[in-house]
Every structure is written in structure tokens, then in C-alpha cells.
Amino acid sequence: MCGIDEPQSADRRRVIQHTSAGLAAALAWSALPLTAQASERVSSSSAPTDPRQGFPLPPFKAQSQPWPGLAGRMEPVPDHGENSYRGHGLLTGRKALITGGDSGIGRAAAIAYAREGADVAINYLPAEEDDARAVVELIRKAGRKAVALPGDLRDEAFCTSLPQRASKEMGGLDIVVSNAARQQSHDSILEIDSTAFDWTLKTNLYAMFWLVKAAIPLMPAGSAIVCTASVNAYDPSENLLDYSITKAGIVAFVKSLAKQMSHRGIRVNAVAPGPFWTPLQVSGGQTQKNLEKFGADTPLGRPGQPAELAPIYVLLASSAATYVTGQVYGASGGRGQP
């Protein structure tokens, strides 16, 4: 692979031009929700999509699941792009590792990456096997290799083994998405004991550090690292103290690491979602009161669906974003930063 300081060849310029054109089309296609209105919109990539209509709206049914929760048991079931995402070859031949790839944002990224032409390895907790099997099947239906890597990221040895295992199974590694997270609602700092605090920091911060550090030596110039931060990094929720600490840490990690990795030709960015309808919310991430009105306080009056984030994760991994590094991309329905 050519170094980033070498002159662009005519072939590479054509690839980037093709990728940029394909990306524009993909952004129009990829985030359509699973409703009757959405089915009609899928027929035309140029049709405008009203962000206020055709998406599940609060109030939501009271519901709870034991941690870590399963997307398949949520009401309504989140839209990860299973029936709507259309690929355009933006990641053809790429090799991606995604933590938390069984459900929520990680699942949406896994589906999109596979349909854009990448082989995908997903990590998840053993309790999430049912969701993970569905994702593996979707990746394979897209004609790509799927690698399942169950295990707990709080175990340093397991976490640091993931990049090597993924690279061996797929024949390389050039995209890493550190996405897995723990979110638990607590009304007061007095309710958070050291065990709970450690669990959140190990899952959200330590695992990201271990994973990325182990992956970098395997990643060639042109690779991409994408981390999942949160609107809570900028506007912390009262009931998510420890979670907000970790998400602010992710933003700082990405901005600092991007400067280091520029010398290797590896881009590092983050996505900072607002309220998104994922198992995090129904498995202790929100109170029942907050869950029923989840997303209602955004200007769009609803939570986002994971499929609506997929185009951002594709962009940040693709060759269309060669000048994008150290950035945080927000998607919060009109509220918050960045």
C-alpha cells in the first residue's frame, strides 16, 4: 500500500472520485426506517426524507431487560438498516473489527460495512448470542466474511487478543470501531459503588485503550479507527455521571490519538450520538419514566434509530474522508453538541 506522502496516482484519484460519488448516493439511501413510508422512499435514492415522519415516536411502552439487553426483545424493535441499507462498494475489500457489533449502533455499522463490501468481525458478550447470530447471518448474506468473537472486554488479555484474531480470520485489519459500552442510570453519585464505577470505566475506557493499542501495529497506512462517544461528553445527563465521564474521555482520546497516528497515516475519529433507541436504554440505561418519553425533548421529538448513524460510520471508515481525522461527528436530533 502506498504511503500517504507519495503522489496520488491517476488510478487512486479515480478511486477517490468514485468513492465520493458513491458516498453521496449511500447517504441518501442508508438510513431509511422500517415503515410503510420508508418502503416507498427506498424506491428512489433522490427522494427527500422528512425526519419527523415514519419513525417510532414516544411515548414508548414500559419495558426492561437484564443487562446487557437484546434488540430482538425491544418494543419497537430498533431499525439497524436490515431491510433498508443499500451498499455502493465504498468499503470493498476492507477488514473491520467492531465491538458491540451484535445490536444498536455497532449492529448498524456491521450491516452497513458488509453491504459496502467489507469483511466484518464483531465482538459481543456471550449473553448477546441471539442478536449476534442474526448479525452474522446478515453479513454473510451480503457476501462477506463474518467473524464472531464473543467475550468480555473488561478482561485485558481477551481484549488485546481481538485485533490479532480478527486479522488472522479476515486476512488483515484496516478498520477498528470501538463501540461497546455500559450505561446505567443512577440518580446520585451516592448510589455508585466502586464495583459499578469500575465496570463502566473498564468497558468504556480501558477496553478502548487496550483494543486500539493492540490493533495499531496491525493496521496499514490508510486505516481508520472510529470510537463511539456521546452527546453526554458535552451535555452530561444528571443520571449518567460515570457514563458521561467515560464519553468525555473518549473525545479527548480520539483528538490526542489522531495527532499521534497522523505519522502512520491512520485516521482517528469519533461519533457522538444523542438519544438512540438501543438495548442500552432498556437494560438499566434509563429510568422507566425517562424511557417512556425517550427522545421527546429533542427538536425532532423522537430518538434516533441506529440505521440513521450508519452513513457516518461508513464515511469515517472510507477513502472519501482522507482529510478527516481528530473529529467528532454529532447526531442528536437538533440538540446538544458537537
Q: At residue 27, does pLDDT exceed 70?
A: no
Q: Residue 107 sits in a domain of what CATH number? A: 3.40.50.720
3-state helix, strand, coil in the chain (%, to 5): 45, 10, 45
Q: At residue 318, does pLDDT exceed 90?
A: yes
- Give the pLDDT band (50/70/90) at residue 46: low
C-alpha cell at position 93 = 475489500
Looking at residue 9, its pLDDT comes to 44
Instruction: Say how far residue 219 (Cα) sits from the centre of its chain.
Output: 19
**Residue 190: inside a domain:** yes
Looking at residue 191, its pLDDT comes to 98
pTM: 0.88
> Which one of the listed residues 243, 313, 323, 329 is annotated catalytic?
243
**Residue 86: inside a domain:** yes
Quick: pLDDT tens for 204-258: 999 999 999 999 999 999 999 999 999 999 999 999 999 999 999 999 999 999 9
> 333 Cβ partners below 8 Å, 6+ apart?
51, 274, 275, 295, 298, 299, 300, 301, 302, 303, 304
For residues 146 and 170, give the distance between their C-alpha atoms in angstroms, rounded to a whole number.
8
Identity (one letter) of the amino acid at 112? Answer: A
304 exposed, middle or buried (CB, 10 Å; 0-12, 13-18, 19+)?
buried
Cis ω for the linkage preceding 59 (within 30 of 0): yes
Q: At residue 2, does pLDDT exceed 80?
A: no
Between 30 and 227, where is the model more confident?
227
Range of the domain at 181: 10-38+77-277+297-331
**Residue 175: inside a domain:** yes
Q: At residue 1, does pLDDT exceed 50?
A: no
Looking at residue 5, its pLDDT comes to 38
Instruction: Say how far residue 31 (Cα) sits from the centre of its chain.
Output: 13
CB 98 within 8 A of CB 177: yes
For residues 123 and 152, give the distance between their C-alpha atoms in angstroms, rounded to a whole number.
9
Q: What is the mean pLDDT of residues 18-22?
A: 44
* DSSP one-letter code for 205: I
- Give the pLDDT band (50/70/90) at residue 335: confident
**Residue 46: inside a domain:** no
**Residue 14: inside a domain:** yes
**Residue 155: inside a domain:** yes
**Residue 209: inside a domain:** yes
Q: What is the mean pLDDT of residues 84-95?
A: 97
Please tell me the total count of domains within the chain: 1
For residues 20 and 179, give the distance between their C-alpha atoms in angstroms, rounded to a whole number.
25
Long-range contacts of 153-157 (CB under 8 A, 24+ apart): 153/99, 153/123, 153/180, 153/202, 153/203, 153/207, 153/210, 153/211, 154/199, 154/202, 154/203, 154/206, 154/207, 156/206, 156/210
Percent of the chain scoring above 70 in pLDDT = 86
C-alpha cell at position 321 = 474522508
Q: What is the mean pLDDT of residues 193-214?
A: 98
- Give the pLDDT band (50/70/90) at residue 29: very low
165 exposed, middle or buried (CB, 10 Å; 0-12, 13-18, 19+)?
middle
**Residue 336: inside a domain:** no
Sign of CA dihedral 300, 302, 103, 261: positive
Active site residue 243: yes
Looking at residue 45, its pLDDT comes to 54
Q: At residue 126, does pLDDT exceed 70?
A: yes
Q: At residue 12, does pLDDT exceed 70?
A: no
Q: At residue 19, does pLDDT exceed 80?
A: no
N residues, the chain? 338
Q: What is the average pLDDT score of the chain? A: 89
Count of CB atoms situated within 10 Å of the CB of 171: 10
For residues 227 and 170, give the distance between their C-alpha atoms in angstroms, rounded to a whole number.
21
Percent of the chain scoring above 90 in pLDDT = 85
